[in-house]
Chains A and B, each alone.
Chain A
Amino acid sequence: MDHRFGYVIGDLVANVALGALVGLLCWLIVGPSWNMWIAMFLMMAVGSFLGLVSFFITARWLGAMEAMVPMMLTGELTGMVVGMAVPMMPFTAMQGLIWGAACGAASMVIIWIANALLKGVTRDGRDMQNG
């Protein structure tokens, strides 16, 4: 991860806010009678799209890939989790916000762990098939 404090906080705040927004949208869009799987896939697509839009807004401050990848992941993860949860149980707007924010924070943790594992010198590039 980027250890510069401003970026750590900026990444976290941006993804928590996006997650909360997508969580709230899931609550607004998905009805309790919806098929769980349809709700999940639809909200994953909506969340990914919102992540993409948010990237164009935040990239100016947070960087390019470092903004895009976590925000798309946050949108997708929040759409999956909250989109599936709304038809399964009684669900409030506040729960949508909180669950979404938690998904945003979880996405950022996933990115930090993945980055810690992948960052640095690879073996002569021989293992790079898609990069």
Chain B
Amino acid sequence: MADAVTQAKWDKLAPRFDSMASAGAEKRWAPAKSALFAEMEGKVLFLALGTGLDIPFFPKGLSITALDISPKMIEHAQERIAAYDGTIETHVMDVHDMAFDEGSFDMVVTSCTFCSVPRPIEGLKALHRVLKPGGRLLMFEHTGSRWYPFRYMMNLMTLITRKLGPDMNRPTVANVRAAGFRVTEVRNVFLDVVKTIKAVKAPA
């Protein structure tokens, strides 16, 4: 059962999400996202799909299972899904309550997702569960900062942005580790607030 408050928040945002997010952030982050997503392989779970802004960065020919908590977001993603040279199967699903069997996927990929998941460690534990032993987690996320004054700015911004959508000050790398993954690489894309994270589930 999807978290109704979170679902309503993203449904409300869906019609204007592209105008808010695409032109600036997506172009700026394109090189880092392309490099990260080039590693996608095998049976991939992607979350959260949103309006599909990440789809142009996906390698061709993959079979991807994509989730989003918001049916309105997935509605807006249809054109990009149709344009993808591969298969994208969508599900309206809450990461906390995924209906997939344990060890269903070779790889889980997230993009600006764990700034918004209400219970991030539990969400990451759910991803850990659906990954096969030895499976990889690839994340493109914005996070809090270790450094003054950036840490203070992220905390201040979160007071406002939390009402609209994401938190700006999440300790996502620590959360990944707390969920049971072994972090293999953290690459800062902008300062230490935009980063790619690679992690692995321990082999059986």
**Which residues in B have their C-beta under 8 angstroms from that of A38?**
none
Q: Which residue of A59, A66, A125 is within 8 Å of B183 (Cβ)?
A: A125
Chain B interface extent, by class: 35 or more
Q: Is B201 an interface residue (CB 8 A)?
A: no
Within 8 A of B (CB), among A98-125: 111, 114-115, 118-122, 124-125
Count of chain A residues near B, Cβ 8 A? 35
Q: Is A78 an interface residue (CB 8 A)?
A: no
| Number of A-B residue pairs at CB separation under 8 A | 119
Q: Which residue of B lies closest to A59 (CB)?
A: B24
The reply to whether A59 and B25 contact each other, CB–CB distance below 8 Å, is yes
Q: Is A41 an interface residue (CB 8 A)?
A: no
Most B CB within 10 A of own CB, among A48, A60, A65: A65
Q: Is B144 an interface residue (CB 8 A)?
A: yes
The reply to whether A63 and B145 contact each other, CB–CB distance below 8 Å, is no
Q: Tell me the complex Cα distance, A83–B142, Å.
A: 32
Say how far B13's CB is from chain A's closest CB, in angstroms: 14
Q: Which residue of B lies closest to A110 (CB)?
A: B149
**Which residues in A have their C-beta under 8 angstroms from that of B187?**
120-122
**Which residues in A have their C-beta under 8 angstroms from that of B144?**
130-131
**Which residues in B have their C-beta under 8 angstroms from that of A48?**
153, 156
The reply to whether B157 and A68 contact each other, CB–CB distance below 8 Å, is yes
Within 8 A of B (CB), among A64-105: 64-69, 72-73, 76
Q: Tell me the complex Cα distance, A61–B191, Å.
A: 19
Q: Which residue of A60, A64, A124 is within 8 Å of B186 (Cβ)?
A: A124
Say how far A50's CB is from chain B's closest CB, in angstroms: 13
**Which residues in A have their C-beta under 8 angstroms from that of B25?**
59, 63-64
**Which residues in A have their C-beta under 8 angstroms from that of B195?**
131
Q: Is B150 an interface residue (CB 8 A)?
A: yes
Q: Tell me the complex Cα distance, A98–B93, Å.
A: 53
The reply to whether B191 and A111 contact each other, CB–CB distance below 8 Å, is yes
Known contacts: A61-B23, A66-B190, A69-B193. The answer to whether A124 contacts B28 by CB under 8 A is: no
**Which residues in A have their C-beta under 8 angstroms from that of B160?**
52
Most B CB within 10 A of own CB, among A48, A61, A130: A130
The reply to whether B29 and A63 contact each other, CB–CB distance below 8 Å, is yes
The reply to whether B191 and A114 contact each other, CB–CB distance below 8 Å, is yes
Q: Tell me the complex Cα distance, A64–B176, Å.
A: 23
